[in-house]
Amino acid sequence: MCPDVDIQELEEQAWPDSDADDKQTLEEYTFADGTTVEFLIQDPDTDTLLDYIAFDPTGEADRDEDSYDLVDECVIAPEVTLDRWRDLRTVDKIGLTDMVTEAIGLDELMDFTDVLPEAEQDEQSSA
């Protein structure tokens, strides 16, 4: 055990507020065609989140389906129906998923730049 640690001081630290209203945010997304829509976002349930971030060693995971499940679970309004999702351009599917991951704080927990080629990482860090 660390000799300079005050256990009581650690126990008295403030924890994050778990008020449900704090877990909802209003986010704006501009689609590739220039249309801008506001979305009300909430935290997903644990299973949906874990399915989204889980590594599939078989390579059989349907990333589009996982992304839709996450967006569908998180977006309260307007509803992102499966028909709407299927009609979206791929860039907008990625963009909506990115907006949701930022809104729920997932981007802070995971370094998604690990999946980018090094050249793209260098471009992003210099921007």
Per the DSSP assignment, residues forming a β-bridge with 39 are 27
Tell me how many domains the chain contains: 1
Domain extent for 58: 25-126
Alpha carbon distance 120, 123 (integer Å):
5
Residue 10 lies in a domain: no
Alpha carbon distance 103, 121 (integer Å):
22
Residue 1 lies in a domain: no
pLDDT digits (tens, 9 = 90+) for 22-39: 678 999 999 999 999 999
φ, ψ for residue 71, nearest 5 deg: -60, -45
Looking at residues 65-78, what average pLDDT do you find? 94
DSSP letter string over 47-80?
HHHHHHH---TTS---HHHHHHHHHHHHEEES--
Residue 19 lies in a domain: no
Would the pLDDT of 88 be above 80?
yes
The whole-number pLDDT of residue 95 equals: 95
Q: How many residues does the chain have?
A: 127
| CA separation, residue 89 to residues 7, 65, 77, 127 (Å) | 53, 14, 20, 26
Alpha carbon distance 67, 52 (integer Å):
7
Strands 75-77 and 36-42: antiparallel
pLDDT digits (tens, 9 = 90+) for 11-24: 888 877 766 556 78
pTM, 2 dp: 0.71
Residue 5 lies in a domain: no
Confidence of residue 100 (pLDDT cuts 50, 70, 90): very high
